Amino acid sequence: MSELIIREATPVDAAAICAIYNPYIEYTTISFEEKPVSVADMAERIASTQAQGLPWLVAEAEDGELFGYAYASRWRARPAYRHSVEASIYLRQATVGQGLGKLLYRELLQRLTALGLRTVIGGVAQPNPASDALHRALGFKQVANFEQVGRKFGRWLDVAYWQLSLTAI
């Protein structure tokens, strides 16, 4: 992999982000969405996240190819939750296990810390050993395992929740 640039996403990135994300929808249980996301819908998701003052980052090669993205969304709508976010990260499947996830997630965590946020939560559909290992390596602690809360491809699926206090990093 060539030199990487981690930067804020723009609406122009929506097609490349869909190319990374939609295979997770179509072929895995990692995402609980069931229909591919259109480029227009992805552009709206990026804009909505950024309009809330939250980061949506992409990892880009020098040649402009996107290898992954990470973003934060509000954990819950009620005001008392305003210091907590849920983080999501998706990588081009061919790059999983090469250290890109740590680089991208660390940058996201640094930006969330700079925003004064306190807690980051990661929900991981099970089984997903790579994502579990990533969260563990970054200092997250597994705080819950909700059993059979999702159904996709005719299977009931669990979701593990990981939590990181930004005051600890």
pLDDT per residue over 33-66, tens digit each?
999 999 999 999 999 999 999 999 999 998 899 9
Are 55 and 8 in contact, with CB atoms under 8 Å apart? yes
Q: Which residues of the chain have pLDDT under 70?
A: 1-2, 168-169
CB atoms within 10 A of CB 141: 12
End-to-end CA distance of the chain: 28
- What is the set of domains in the chain, with CATH numbers? 4-168 (3.40.630.30)
Determine if the pTM surpasses 0.85: yes
Provide the pairing of β-strand 4-8 with 56-61.
antiparallel
